[in-house]
Amino acid sequence: MQVNVTTLEGLKRRISGKIEPEVVSQHLDRAMRELAKSAQIRGFRPGKAPKAMLEKRYGEQIKADVSGQLLEEYFPKALEQGHVEPVSTPEVERAEIEPDGSMAFEIIVEVAPKVSLQLYKGLTAKQPVVEVSEQEIEARLEQVRQQNSTLEPLEQERPLAEGDWAEINFQGLLGGKPFEGATAENYRLEVGAKRLIVDLEQGLVGMQKGEDREIPATFPANYGNAKLAGKQVLFKVHLNSILKRVVPAADDELAKDAGEESLDALKAKIKQQIEKGKTERAEADARESLLDDLLAKNPVEAPARMVEHRLESMQEQLKRNLVSQGLPAEQAQSLLDSTRESGRERAEREVKISFLLEAVAEQESLSVSDAELDQRYQEIAESAKQTVEAVAAMFQKEGQVETLKRRILEGKTLELLKAHATIVPAEPAPAEEPEE
């Protein structure tokens, strides 16, 4: 087989090959004999039709099938002969049988970049200083108060107002008929919090306990259920009661309800929790800063198809997360489309980093031992509340053992880089945003 490798732009290579006519002829004859056994040709019993007739009727299809078979068999040999190790899915430009009986193919692949490590020891990483302010502790304490609050009936009856809690029974009608998901009893909501359709919430304002009211409403045009989007409906509502939220004082009793002995102990635990979260974020920021410096000091190319594959994987994962949080699939996809370019930059960065970390690990002769792999299985098992044997079997069944080992190796490589880096204190981590 003749093989020629042409260097194209970037990391692309064209593998051109030509398989000898006698090899092609043997495969064509074999395919024709197999076809003859089952071909249904009027006037002939299976296996008795003339070869010329079979070639006339099935020749092009047989050539296409044989071309595919030969490509599958000989392309790996062409890569070996051309000393090419692709890192992305091959793109077949041409694969056909020539008039002289040979088979020619041209395939585009991408190869790994040649990594020339310039400097990876002595990098600089910025790590935010971790500080916890009294205001952050008080804000988290307020969350604890809200979480331990109760809803109680009003002491004096009055009309329902925004900010009140209402307990209602309701039924939605579309075209005069009830529709799925629009009926509930003893449903509690905070009026004005926009947990339900805005028209419905606004229509509740002014109702008295025990009152019945019909409230017209229009579903938003972008509502998640396409059958209801933009539709006008009617809600029949009965107000069972008006409630107010009673928030407990920040004292020792609150601390005991939260599982601590005293208010001081609760505040200490809150500070510890905030500190832990900020420390984890600061370490993550330092890791990213370290990798930024590694990239800056060791320029490397990223195979375009690997970047695209990584981008698709990242966006698919993000879409699943958004949908699981309640965002309609169409809106999730629209959001992903609008951020695709920035996502591509992140994907390219990750691909480049993976090549650099691999090169550092090879330079330092780092590897993953069986004991380290077993330790990671143990950690995953404890987190997932499964047996180590079940976790190991799952990774083996799904063919993910090498992927896991690669992650462990990247972690070890990062630790080596960090051990030889200069950590520079950066601006303190930002204050926590209060949770709603």
pLDDT tens digit string along 378-402?
999 999 999 999 999 999 999 999 9
What pairing do the DSSP bridges indicate for beta strands 103-110 and 177-190? unpaired
Residue with tokens 């070639």: 55
Residue with tokens 């019945």: 212
Alpha helices in 260-369 (DSSP H): 263-297, 304-324, 329-338, 340-363
Cα separation of 95 and 74, whole Å?
A: 12
pLDDT of res. 366 = 96
Are residues 179 and 172 in contact, defined by beta-carbon separation less than 8 angstroms? yes
Q: How confident is the model at residue 5 (pLDDT cuts 50, 70, 90)?
A: very high
- Residue 426 phi/psi, 5-degree rounding, is -115, -175
Q: Report the Cα–Cα distance between both ends of the chain, in Å, rounded.
A: 68
Q: Quickly name the fold that domain 150-246 has.
A: Chitinase A; domain 3 (3.10.50)
Residue with tokens 């690997």: 306
Q: How confident is the model at residue 332 (pLDDT cuts 50, 70, 90)?
A: confident
Considering the chain, tell me which residue range(s) the CATH 3.10.50.40 domain(s) occupy: 150-246
Cα separation of 94 and 74, whole Å?
A: 14
Cα separation of 371 and 405, whole Å?
A: 11
Token digits of residue 132: 């916890």
Token digits of residue 68: 């595919």
For residues 255-284, average pLDDT:
95
Task: Tell me the HSE value of 286 on the side-chain side, using a 13 A CA sphere.
Answer: 27
Which contacts of 277-280 are long-range, i.e. CB under 8 A and separated by 24 or more positions?
277/432, 278/128, 278/130, 278/131, 278/132, 278/429, 278/432, 279/130
For residues 219-242, average pLDDT:
91
pLDDT of res. 227 = 87
Residue with tokens 């981590």: 429
pLDDT of res. 306 = 92
Helix, strand or coil, per DSSP, at residue 127: strand
For 266-305, b/e burial (b = at least 16 CB within 10 A) is bbeebbeebeeebeeebeebbeebbbbbbeeebebbbbbb
Q: Quickly name the fold that domain 2-110 has.
A: Alpha-Beta Plaits (3.30.70)
Considering the chain, tell me which residue range(s) the CATH 3.30.70.1050 domain(s) occupy: 2-110
Cα separation of 292 and 430, whole Å?
A: 21
What's at 255, amino acid-wise?
A
pLDDT of res. 39 = 61
Helix (H) or strand (E) holding 97: strand 91-97
Are residues 423 and 125 in contact, defined by beta-carbon separation less than 8 angstroms? yes
Cα separation of 216 and 235, whole Å?
A: 6
For residues 262-279, average pLDDT:
96
Are residues 167 and 146 in contact, defined by beta-carbon separation less than 8 angstroms? no
pLDDT more than 70, % of the chain: 92
Counted residue by residue, the chain has a size of: 436
Q: Which of 292-301, 303-312, 324-333 has the lowest mean pLDDT?
A: 324-333
pLDDT of res. 75 = 93
